[in-house]
Amino acid sequence: MADRYEYEIQKLHDPAIDMFTIPPDTDPPHVPRAIYVGAGGDLTVETLTGTVVTMQGLLGGMTYPVRIRRVLSVGTTAGGILGLV
């Protein structure tokens, strides 16, 4: 299938071109431009600057525009977490 945007420069607010599963306590293969939460709950993450924060009450089936270094298992009750790149 032809991709008419193949040679366009990707920006952070552009649609994702790929995604990957982010298991807790593992380093993702890439820094995502956003994360998708399949099953709602709390999500504890380490940001790119090293800050650890719990995002509380996230809704399932939603995309959140945050760039993270890692999802932590302690404090995380959300599931089905995907990184969008």
pLDDT tens, residue by residue, 46-71: 999 999 999 999 999 999 999 999 99
11 pLDDT exceeds 90? Answer: no
Task: Confirm whether 39 is domain-assigned.
Answer: yes
What sign does the dihedral 70-72-73-75 (CA atoms) show?
negative
**Parent domain of 52:** 19-84
Task: Confirm whether 25 is domain-assigned.
Answer: yes
Task: Confirm whether 14 is domain-assigned.
Answer: no
Task: Confirm whether 47 is domain-assigned.
Answer: yes
- Tell me what the mean pLDDT of segment 22-44 comes to: 96
Write the CB contacts of 50 (distance below 8 Å, at least 6 apart in sequence).
69
pLDDT at 37: 99
- Measured at the CA of 70, the angle between CA 21 and CA 8, to 5 degrees, comes to 65
Stated pTM of the model: 0.89
Task: Confirm whether 13 is domain-assigned.
Answer: no
Sheet containing strand 79-84, edge to edge, reads 19-21, 79-84, 34-39, 62-64
- Tell me what the mean pLDDT of segment 71-76 comes to: 98
Q: How many domains does the chain have?
A: 1
% of the chain residues with pLDDT over 90:
79
Task: Confirm whether 9 is domain-assigned.
Answer: no
